[in-house]
Structure 1
Amino acid sequence: MKPKKLIMKNFGPFIEESLDFDQVGTAGLFLISGKTGAGKTTIFDGMTFALFGETSGNLRAGKEMRSMFASPVEETSVSFTFAHQSLLYEILRRPEQILAKKRGDGVTNQAAKVQLTIFDAAGKELKQISKRNEVDQFIKELLQLDAKQFFQIMMLPQGEFRNFLIASSNDKEKVLRNLFGTQLYQSFNEWLKGQQKAQSKTLEQQQQLAEQLLQRFEWLEEQPVLSPIEAIDAWNDDLSKQSAAIDNLKAQKTKIDQAYQQAQTLFYQAKELENLQQEQQDLLQKQHTLAEAAPQIKQKKQQLEALIWAGDTQHVWQRRMEKKAASADAQRQVDIAQRDFIAIQQQQEEWQNQRAAVNQVKEEREAALMQQRQFDGLLPIAQQAQQQQEVILDLQRDVQQQQTQRQVFETKKKRIEAQQVALTAQIAAVGDVQTEKIQLLECRNLLEKWQQIKEQQVKADTRHQQLKAQEADLTKDQAHLEEQATRLATILKAETSQNAKMQIARLQLLLAPDEPCPVCGSTDHPIVQEHASYTIEDIMESEETLIRTQNELTTVKEQLSATQTLLQQCQQQFAEAQTVREDLQQAHKDAWKMVNQALQPLIEKQESVDKENVVVFLKQRMAYNEQQSEVVRKAQQQLQTLTEQRAEISGKEQRLVDVETAAVQKYQMAEGKLATLVEQLSGYSIQTIETKRQELTRLVQQQTEQIECDTQQGNDLQKKLVLYSEKVANLQHICKENQIAAAEADEEVAAILQGADCTEAQFQALLTALSDKEVLSREINTYEQDRYVVKQRLVTLEERLSTAQPVNIDQLAERSQQLQDELTSLQEQVIQKQEKLRSNQQIYQELQTIYTQNLQALDQLSQLQQLAETMNGENSKKTSLERFVLQRYLTEILLVANDRLARLTRGRYQFELADKVGSYRSSTGLEIDIYDDNAGQVRRAHTLSGGESFIAALALAISLADVIQAKAGGIEIEALFIDEGFGSLDEESLEMAMEALEMIESEGRMIGIISHVRELRTRITQQVFVETNGGGQSRIRIKA
C-alpha cells in the first residue's frame, strides 16, 4: 500500500489543505517540518481517520477533530488516495458533526459518512461502496490491520525504540505485550496466583476444622494426643467399645424394668384395697347425714307444690294488673289532649287579632315592587352609557398610538432610503466583477489543462525512458538466452552421442548366443566390436545428465520465446509512447498559447504583473475577485432586503391611516349615542340605581317573608284544632273500654283466690318466691339420687371387702420407688452414652471427609504451584511462559533486523538475544546485546554511541513493523513515518543517521521524517512545511 494523496477539509488546524505524496515521495525520503503544535502529526491522523474512522493512537474521536476555524455550514472531511497492486483506492470519510442549517436558524446533527471508490490503473472507476459497515470490512480485509497496528507499522516514534533497545526485560515485556497481544498469559498467571492462594486458604481452614474435631471427640478411656491420620483408626476402635458398653446398659435396664413393673402391680393392688375401705367409711357417714335431712326435704316438697300452683295461676293476676295500668294511662292521655286543645284555641284568637297589621304590610310591598320595576328599567340604560364612555376612551388611545406609529415609520423610511443610496454607490464603485470572474475561471481551467498536459508529458517522457531501458534490457536478455541455447544444444549433441555409445556398449554386454541383436536382428554374433568399459552407474549418470540438459534447453527456449514476445510488446509500446509523447508536446504548446491569450485582458488591467508568475497572479486575482464578488453579493442582498423593508413599511403606514380614519368615525358616533343615554337616565347615575334596586329588593324580600310566615301560621293553627278535637274524642272512648276490662279482671282474680283459700297478700308472696322453684326442685332430686347411690355402693363394697387379705402398703411403695430410681439412672446413662456415640460418629465422619478432601486439595495445590512457578518464571532460566513466547517473537524480529543492521553498519553489528541468566527475573529473557565484528565480542546496547544507537533502534523499529505486518497477514506497506528522534544527535551521529535512512530509502520505501532539526532541511530536498498563521490555523506547503 502506497499513499498517493491526502485532502483535509476543516480537519484539525487545516481548513482545506492537500498533500500530494507523488510530489514529495518520488525521491523516497522527505521531511515534514513545522513548529510544535502546527499539525505535523495531524497529517498522519488524517490518513488513519480516513481508513479506520479514528485518529492515530485513538487519542481523539473523529468528531473531536473538527477545526475550530471551520464555517458553521462547512463539513469536516478527509479524502485519502492510495495505490495497491495496480489499483487505486480513494476513501472519503466525514465524522459525526453538528452544522448550522443552510436555510433558517438552528443546527442539524449530521451522521458519520464514508465512501470508497476503486479505480483501475487507467483511472476508470470499477466500484463504489458507501455503506459504512461494508467500507470498514473491506479496508480491514484489504489491509489485514486495525488502526492500532497500522499506527505501529507506519508511525515510528524513534525515541521510544531507542529506549526500547536498552530497556530492561520487564519494560520490553510491557511494550511487546501490547504489540503482540500476550496479555492472556499475564491474566492467566494472575488467575493461577489467585487459585493457589484460595486453595491454600481452603487447606488451612480444613486443618483448623480437623484440630477442632480432635478436641471435640470424647474417648471412652483417656488417650494420648494423636494426629488426624492416627485418630481415624483409634476412633474406630473406641466407637466399637462405646457401642458395646451401651448394649450392656440396655440389658441391665431391661431386667430392672421387669422387676419394677411387678412391684408397681402389687403396689397398685394394695392401694386400691385401701381406697375401697376408706370409701366404705365415707359412704356410711354420708348415709347417716341423709337420714337426718329427711324432715327438711319433706317441708321443701310442700313449698315446691305451692309455688307450682302460683306459677300456673300467675297469668290471670298479670292480666288483671295490665288492664288496671292501661285504664289509668288512658285517663292521663285524655287529660293532656284536652289541655293542648284549649291552648291552640287561644293561639288562634291571637292570630285573628293581627289581621289589620298584616294587610298594611301587603300594601307597602306593592308600592316597593312598583319602584323596583322602575329602577330595573333604568339599569340597562346606565350600563350602556358606562360602556360607551369606555369605548370613547379606548378610541382616543388608539388614535394617539396610530399617530405615534406613523411618525416611527416615517423615520425608518428615511433611514432606509439613505442606506439604499449608499449601497447603490458601493455596487457601482466595485464594477463588473462577474465578467472578470468568468474570465478568471476560464483562464484557471486552461491553466489546469496546461498543467495536466505538462504532467502527462512528464509521465510520457518517463514512460518513454522506461520502455527504452526495458527494450535494451530485453534485447540483452534475448542475446544472452540465444547464446545459452546454442551452448546447451552443443552440449546436448555431445551428451546424446556419448549416451548412445554407452547404450551400445551396454547392449553388447547383454548379447547372448541364439538371441536376436536389438540393432540388426541377427542371432549370430561372429564379430563383437570392442568398446570402452562402462559401469551401470556411468550409464545411469549419463542418462540423468542427458535428461537434465534437455530440460535446461527446453527451459531456455521457453524463456527465449517469452523474452522475444515481451520484446515485441515493448517495441510496440515504445512506438505508441513515442507517438503519445509527440502529441503531448504539440498539445502542451497549444495549451500554453491558449493560456496566454486568455491572460492578456487580465494582464492589461494590471500592467505591473510579471507574466512569468502567472500562476501566482491568477490565484491572487481570483482571491481578490472572490472578495469583490462577496462584497457585491452582500450589498445586493442588503439592497434587496432594504427595498422589501421599505415596501413593507409603506404598506403598514397606509393601513395605519385607514385604521385611524375608522377610529375617528367610531369616536364621533360613540359621543352622540352617549348623550342620548344620559338624557334618558334623568340625572340618575348607575351607582345610585344599583343602590336603590338593592334596598328595594331587601325590603320586598322582608315583607314577602313576613306575609308568608303569617299565612302559614294561620293554616297550621286551623289544622291543629281539627286534629286535637278528633284526638280527645278517641282517647275518651279508649279510656272507657279499659275501665270495663279492668273491672272484669278483678272479678276473675277474686274467684280463683277464694277457691284456693288464699288471700291476695299470700298469693303476691308466692309470686315473689317463684324464682326459688328451680332451686328447690334440684335440691330434692339431688337428695333422692344421693340416697339411692350410697345404698347401692355400700352393697357392692361389702361384697368385695369380705374376700380381701391385709398387706403392708408402705413396704410395697418403698420397693417400687427403689426400682424406679435404678431404672431412671440406667436410662440417663444410656441416653448420655448414645448421644456421646452419635456425636463421636458424626465427628468421625467429618474427619474422614476432611481427610479425603485434603488429599485431593493437596494434589491440586501441588499442581497449581508447579504450574504457577513455570508460568511465573521461577525456574533456572528465570523465564515466564509469557516471556518465553515473547522471546520467540523478539528472536524473529532480531533475525529480520540483523539483515538490515548488517547493511546499515556494513556488516559490523549484529543483534543477539542475551542468553545469560540475570540476577533477577526483571533483567532476564529479553535483554538485547550487540555483537561487534570489529572487536570480535559481544557488547551491551548501552555502549553504543548516539549515531550507532540511532541506527540500531531504526533497524529494530522497522523490522518490528515488518514482523507485525507479516503476522497480521496484510498487504505490503510501502510508506514509513519517523516522528522526531533526531534532536539529540550530534553532527557525526546525524550524519550516520542520514546514511542509514538513505540505505533504508533504497529498499523502495517512502520515508517521511517528522522533525524540527534544521540540519535535515539542508540534507533532504523533498520537504513539506506545516506553517501556522499565529492564530492556530495551519497551511501545508511543499518544497520539491
Structure 2
Amino acid sequence: MTAFGPFGSTQSVDFGELSAAGLFLLHGPTGAGKTSVLDAVCYALYGSVPGARQSGQGMTLRSDHAAPGVRTEVTLELTVAGRRLEITRQPPWERPKKRGTGTTLDKAQTWLRERDAASGAWKDLSRSHQEIGEEITQLLGMSREQFCQVVLLPQGDFARFLRADAEARGKLLGRLFDTRRFADVEKRLAERRRAAESRVREGDADLLADAHRMQQAAGGSMEPPELTPGEPGLAEAVLSAAAVARSTAREQLTAARCRLATAESALADAGRALDAVRERDRLQRRFAEARERADRLRERSGAHQEARARMERARKAGTVAPALELRDSAGAEHGRAAGAELRARALLPAALADAGAAGLAAAARRAAEELGGLESARRAERRLTELLGERADLDRQERADEEAREDAETWLADWEETRAGLQAGIDSAQQAATTARELAVLRDPARQRLNAARLRDRLAGETRTAEEQARAARERALAAKQHWLDLKEQRLNGIAAELAAGLTDGEPCAVCGATEHPAPARKVAGHVDRETEERALADHQRADDHRAEAERRLGAVREALAAASAEAGDGATEQLSRAVDELERQYAQARDAASALHAEQERLRRAEDEHELRITAQREAAVRAASRVGHRERLDREHAALEEELAQARGDAPSVAARAAQLERSVGLLTDAADTARAAEEAAQRLKEADARLADAAFRAGFDTPEAAAEALLDDAAHRELQRRLDAWQHEEAAVRAVLAEPETVAAAQQPPADLGSAQRAAEDADRRVREAASARDAADRRCAELDRLSARAAASVRRLGPLREEYERVARMAGLTAGTSADNERKMRLESYVLAARLEQVAAAATVRLHRMSSGRYTLVHSDDRTGRGRSGLGLHVVDAWTGRERDTATLSGGETFFASLALALGLADVVTDEAGGVRLDTLFIDEGFGSLDDQALDEVLDVLDSLRERDRSVGIVSHVGDLRRRIHAQLEVVKGRSGSELRRRGTR
C-alpha cells in the first residue's frame, strides 16, 4: 500500500508468512488503520472498499500524510485456482501540474498480471477495469458483497443479522445467494396476472362499448344491458339486445325503399316537362339574338370596306420591306462608324488630326517600338524599390535591438532583489506547511471528543424518552395481561354453553357420553368464546413484545450514553465546539499559506529562466549590430548605380513606369483611330448601294417614292389586328345567316314565350322529395350494416374472451401461491422466502457445529418457519438453550453470547456461500473486532474453534485491539500511528 488511508508511505504485508501459524492477530490503537489493511485487500480485488465506506471513494482513499507527488496505489499478489496473480489499482487523484500552477485529475488505473509457472516471469493480462473485475469475480466465484461477508467477517453486521426481522434477513441473504431469479418469477407471475386481468376487463369494456354503439346506431330503439365489466351474463345480454335491434332496423329499411321508388317516378315526370320548356326558351332567345347581330353588321359595313383597302396597300408595300430594312441597317452602321471616327481623332495630337488610316497605323508602329526598349529600365526601377525596403528593415532591426538591450539592462539591475523576495516567500510557505501538519494531528481527537459530546447530549434526551416509553409499555402489558386473564376466567365459567353448542341428538356427549341431551346449557349475554379469548391473548403477547422491545431500546440507549460520556469527558459541548472551530481556523490558515509553496517555487523558477533569457538577448543584439554595418555600405553603392541608369531612361517623365504608360496610351489611341477611319469609309460605300436598291423596289411596287411605300407598311401587331377584324366580320355574317335559316328556331319564335320559372319550381320540389327519401333509405341501410358489423364484432369478442378468462383464473392462482397471498399457501411464504429459508436452514446447521463448541454444548441455532411481521414466515432464527430446554429468539442473547452466535453464524455462512460459489478454496479469513465482550474461558473456547479451522488448511486473521489476544496469539501484525502516518510492524513471524 502506498499513500492509502492512514498510511502515508509504502507498507508491505506478507499474509503467507503471517498465515504459517494458522492464527494471526492484526492489532493497534483505535484509528491507527487496522481495518484499512482489509480495505486495501478488498479494493485491490474489486475496486471498492467494504460496507458504508464504499461511497465517496477516489480522493477519500488517499492518505493525508502522503507527499504531493506520490500517487495512491495498492498491489495484491494472490494464489487462486492454482494461478499466481498480481493486481495493481490506482484510484483517481489530483496531482500537481507539471507545467504551471494548480492540479490536474488523473483517471483511475488497474493492471492484472500472472506469473508463468515454468519461467517465473510475469506477463500482462489486462488493463481494463471491466475485464479485470469479471476475471476476479469468476475466479473467486463470489461478488464483493459475498467476499466481504465470507472472507472479511464483520461481526457488527452478523450481530445485527441475529436481531434483525425477517425482511432485513431476507435482503442480506438475497444479496449473498443471488435469489433474484425466484423474485423475478414472482414478479413475472404477478405481471402476467395483472396483464390477464387487464385483458379480461378490456374485453368486457369493449363488449359493453359495442352495446352502446349499437344503441346509437339503432337510434334509441335499443336498451343496453345495465351491467359492468366483469359481471356474469354481460355477453348474453348484449347478444340478445343486438338481435332485437337488427330485426327492427330491417323493417325500417323496407319501408324507406318503397317511399324512395314513388318519389323517383314523380321526379322523372317533372324532369321531362322542364326539359321541354327549357328547349323552347333557348330557341326563342337564339332567334332574337340572331336578329340583333344582323342589325349591327349593317351598321358597320362602311368600316369593313375601308379595312379591306388598307390591307391591299399593306400587301404591296410588303414587297418593298426588304430594301427598306437593308437601307436602314446601312444608314445606322454608317452613323456609328462616323461617330467612332470623330471620337478617336479627338484624342490624337493636333499634328495627326487630319491623317488618313495609313498614316495613323504607321505612327502606332513607331510608338510600339520605343515602348519595347524600356523593359531593362523597368527591372532597374523595381530593384531600386527593393533596396529602399532593405534599408528600412535595417533601420527597424537596429531600433528593436537597441530597445531590447536597454530593457535587459533595466531588468538585470533589479535581479538580486527580486530573487531574495521570491526565496523569502518559499521559506514562509514551507514554515506554514510544517505548522499545518502539526495542527492536522490534533484535529481528529478534537473532532471525536466534540462528536461524542454532541452524541452524549442527544442520547441524554433519548434516554428520558426511552424511559417514558418503557414505563408506558410495561403498564400496557400489565393491562393486556389482566384483560386476557379476566376473559379466560369468564370463558371457563361459560364453557358448558360452548360445549353444548356442539351436541347433536343421537351422538354421545364428549363429557358424559350420553346420547340424549334433554337440557343443554345456553349462552348468556356477554358470553366469551374461544376466538375472543385468543384475540385477548394475542393482544397480551404483542404488548409484552412491545414492553421487551422498549426495555431493550432503553438498555441500548443507556449503554451508548455511557460510552459517549466516557469518550467526551466532562467538557461542555459549546466549549469543545469553540476549541474545534479555533483549531480548524488555524489549520485552514496554515494550509492556505502552505498551498502557495508550489506557486512560489514556480515563480522563482520562471524568474531564473527570465534572467538567462535577458543575458542571451544582450549578447545576440550586439552581434546583429556589427553585421549590419557592412550590409548598409553594399546597399548604398548599388543604389547610386541604379539612379544613374534610370535618369537616362525616364527622359522628361517622372519615372520609367510613367514613360512606359505614356507610350502605351499613344499606341492604343493611334491603333483605335486607324481602325475607326477604315470602318467609316467602308460604311459610307454600303449606304450608297442600299439607297439605289430601295428606289428601284418602290417604283416596281407602284409607289411614287420610297417614303410612300414605308408609310403603307404595317407592323406585325397592326397586320394581325386588321386581319382579325376582317375574319371576324366574315364569321359573324355566316353565323347570323345560318341561325335565321334554322326551321326549329323560326318555329319556336312564332310560339308564345316559355314559363321556365314554374317548371323549375315543380322539378325542384320533386327532387327534394327524392333526396329526403334516399337519405332515409341510406340511413336505414347504414343502420342495418352497422348493427350487423357490431353484432359480429360482439360475437367474436365473446368467443375470444372465453380462453382469456380461463387463463386469468389459472395465472391468478399461481401468482397468489408464489406471492404468499393465496389460501392454499398456509404459511403465507413467498417463493423467494421459501428458497432463502432453505439457505438459512443450511447456514443455521453449519453455524450450530461451531456454536455448540464455543458455548460448551449449551446453545444451538435453529431455523424457524413461524410467522413474523405482516403474516409472512420462513426467515425466523431461534436459539435453543440446553440448560433450560427452551427455544427463544436470538435477540435475547447477551453481549458475549451474541458474539458467540454471530461468529458461528459468520463461519457457517462462509461455508455455505463457499459451497454455493462452486467450492472455491478460501485459505484465509479475517474477523473484525468483537472479542472485547468475552471472558477468559469464552475467549479460550472461541480461539480453539478458530484454531480448528487449520484442520481444513485455513488460516484466520483476527482484527482487534484487545490486549489479552496479544499474549495468546504469537503471529502479529501491529499498526503503529504517528504524526507522519501509520506504519506496519510484524512480530512473532520468521
TM-score normalised by length of structure 1: 0.53
- Partner in structure 1 of residue 973 of structure 2: 1024
Deviation at residue 238 of structure 1 after TM alignment: 1.9
SS in 2 for 1:920: helix
Aligned partner of 2:476 in structure 1 is none
Instruction: Give 3-state SS (helix, strand or coil) of 1:1035's partner.
Output: strand
> Aligned-pair distance for 1:725?
8.0
Quick check: 1:966 aligned with 2:915?
yes
Aligned residue type for 1:235: A
Preserved contact between residue 287 and residue 745 of structure 2 (Cα < 8 Å): no
1:157 paired residue number? 154
- Give the CA deviation at 1:1024: 2.6
Measured in 1, the distance between the counterparts of 2:15 and 2:286 equals 140
2:777 is equivalent to residue 830 of structure 1: yes
1:183 matched to 2:185: no
Read off the aligned partner of 2:125 and give its amino acid letter: R
What's 1:418 paired with?
none
Residue 164 of structure 1: CA displacement? 0.9
Contact 1:145/1:970 (CA < 8 Å) preserved in 2?
no
Question: 1:873 is matched with which residue?
Answer: 820
Matching residue of 1:114: 113
Offset of residue 30 of structure 1: 3.3
| 1008-1017 or 997-1006, larger mean C-alpha shift | 997-1006
Matched residues in 2 for 1:283 and 1:49: separation? 111
Write out aligned runs for 1:322-721 (5 A).
351=351, 670=630, 697-698=653-654
CA apart distance, 1:960: 1.4
1:78 corresponding residue in structure 2: 76
Residue of structure 2 in register with 1:1008 after alignment: 957
Q: 1:833 to 1:1018 in 2, by over 3 A?
A: same
What is the aligned partner in structure 2 of residue 555 from structure 1? none
* 2:238 alignment partner, one of 224, 227, 231: 231
User: Which residue of 1 is the match for residue 170 of structure 2?
Assistant: 173
Question: Which moves more between the two structures, 958-967 or 992-1001?
Answer: 992-1001
Alpha carbons of structure 1 residues 952 and 695: separation in structure 2 relative to 1, 3 Å: farther
2:34 maps to 1:40:
yes
Distance 1:343-1:950 versus aligned 2 partners, 3 A rule: closer
Quick one: distance in 2 between partners of 1:289 and 1:97?
111
Equivalent position to 1:956, from 899, 905, 921:
905
Give, in whole Å, the separation in 1 of the partners of 2:47 and 2:84.
14
Matched to 1:839, the amino acid is: E
Shift of 1:880: 1.2
Aligned CA distance change for structure 1 residues 691 and 387 (closer, same or farther; 3 Å): farther
Residues 228-276 of structure 1: per-residue CA shift (max 9 Å, x gap): 4312212123213312431343245446545654x358747xx64x678
- Superposed CA deviations along residues 211-238 of structure 1, whole A, max 9, x for unmatched, are 5444332447745552343122121232
Indicate conservation of the 8 Å contact 1:79/1:92, yes or no: yes
In the aligned structure 2, how far is the partner of 1:136 from the partner of 1:346? Answer: 99
Q: 1:110 to 1:696 in 2, by over 3 A?
A: farther
Among 122, 125, 129, the alignment partner of 1:132 is 125
Q: CA 1:108–1:175 in structure 2 vs 1: closer, same or farther (change >3 Å)?
A: closer
Paired with 1:127 and 1:381, the residues of 2 have a C-alpha distance of 76
**1:978 Cα offset (Å):** 1.1
1:247 paired with 2:254, answer: yes
Q: Find the partner of 1:840 among 769, 784, 787.
A: 787
Matched, 1:910 2:860: yes
Deviation track 1:473-527 (CA, whole Å, cap 9, x = no partner) reads xxxxxxxxxxxxxxxxxxxxxxxxxxxxxxxxxxxxxxxxxxxxxxxxxxxxxxx
Aligned partner of 2:938 among 971, 981, 992: 992
Question: Whole-Å Cα distance in 1 between the matches of residues 833 and 903 of structure 2?
Answer: 23
Corresponding residue for residue 19 of structure 1: 14
The one-letter code matched in structure 2 to 1:883 is S
Aligned residue in 1 for 2:891: 942
Q: Show the counterpart of 2:930.
A: 981
Contact 1:1024/1:1037 (CA < 8 Å) preserved in 2?
A: yes
Cα offset for 1:177? 0.8
Q: Alpha carbons of 1:49 and 1:278: their partners in 2 closer, same or farther (altered >3 Å)?
A: closer
Q: Percent identity?
A: 19
What corresponds to 2:25 in structure 1? 31
Question: What code does the residue aligned with 1:17 have?
Answer: S
Secondary structure of 1:963's aligned partner:
helix
Mapping for residues 770-919 of structure 1, pairs under 5 Å: 779=729, 783=733, 786-787=736-737, 790-791=740-741, 793=743, 822-852=769-799, 854-874=801-821, 875-918=825-868
What residue ranges of structure 2 are gaps of 5+ in the alignment?
228-233, 356-366, 417-611, 706-710
Q: Provide the rounded CA distance (Å) in 1 between the counterparts of 2:140 and 2:323.
A: 127
In the TM superposition, what whole-angstrom CA distance separates every residue of 1:264-301 from its partner, at most 9, and x where no partner exists? 58747xx64x678778988998999999999x69x95x
1:893, distance to aligned residue in structure 2 (A): 1.6
| 1:1011 to partner: Cα distance | 0.9
Q: Please say if residues 93 and 113 of structure 1, whose CA atoms lie closer than 8 Å, have aligned partners that are also in contact.
A: yes
In 2, Cα distance between equivalents of 1:743 and 1:937: 154
Whether the 8 Å contact between 1:976 and 1:1007 is mirrored in structure 2 is yes
CA contact (8 A) 2:196 2:808 kept: yes
CA contact (8 A) 1:177 1:183 kept: yes
Measure the CA separation in 2 of the matches of 1:381 and 1:330: 57
1: CA distance between counterparts of 2:335 and 2:969?
A: 146
Offset at residue 1031 of structure 1 (A): 1.5
Alignment root-mean-square deviation, CA: 7.0
What are the Cα deviations for residues 76-125 of structure 1, in whole angstroms up to 9, with x where unaligned?
Answer: 6434469x9xxx975444447999xxxx999999972423466xxxxxx7
Give the Cα separation in 1 of the matches to 2:721 and 2:627.
Answer: 108
User: Distance in 1 between the 2:350 and 2:738 partners?
Assistant: 88
Give the C-alpha shift of residue 888 in structure 1. Answer: 0.9
Q: Which residue of 2 aligns with 1:440?
A: none
1:920-967, Cα deviation, whole Å (9 max, x unpaired): 246x32122222222222222222222222212222221111222223
Corresponding letter in the other structure for 2:916: K
Alignment check: 8 A CA contact 1:901 1:951 kept:
yes
Structure 1 contact 115–135 (Cα < 8 Å) conserved: no
* Mapped contact 1:10–1:75 kept (Cα < 8 A): yes
Q: Aligned-pair distance for 1:178?
A: 1.0
Displacement of 1:181 in angstroms is: 0.9
How high is the TM-score relative to the length of structure 2?
Answer: 0.55
Larger radius of gyration: 1
Residue 912 of structure 1 aligns to a residue in which SS?
Answer: strand
Q: Does the CA contact (< 8 Å) of 1:49 and 1:62 recur in 2? A: no
Q: Answer whether contact 2:829 2:874 (CA < 8 A) is retained.
A: yes
Paired residue for 2:985?
Answer: 1036
CA contact (8 A) 1:50 1:79 kept: no
Supply the distance in 1 between the matched residues of 2:623 and 2:142 (Cα, whole angstroms). 82
Give, in angstroms, the shift of residue 881 of structure 1: 1.1
Counterpart position of 1:920? 870
Query: Which amino acid in 1 is paired with 2:938?
Result: M
Indicate the SS of the match to 1:132.
Answer: strand
Structure 1 position 182, deviation (Å): 1.0
What is the rounded CA distance, in whole Å, between the counterparts of 2:763 and 2:383 in structure 1?
Answer: 125
Alpha-carbon displacement from aligned partner over 1:572-607 (angstroms, at most 9, x marks no partner): xxxxxxxxxxxxxxxxxxxxxxxxxxxxxxxxxxxx
The answer to whether the Cα contact below 8 Å between 2:73 and 2:89 also exists between their aligned partners in 1 is no
1-structure distance, mates of 2:703, 2:642: 91
Q: CA 1:309/1:1039 → structure 2, altered by over 3 Å: closer, same or farther? A: closer
Aligned residue identity for 1:837: C
Q: Secondary structure at the match of 2:962?
A: coil
Gaps of 5+ in 1: 1-7, 119-124, 356-361, 412-648, 750-760
Deviation, structure 1 residue 376 = 8.3
Asked whether the equivalents of residues 864 and 875 of structure 2 are also in contact (C-alpha less than 8 Å), the reply is yes
Determine if contact 2:149/2:906 at 8 Å carries over to the other structure: no
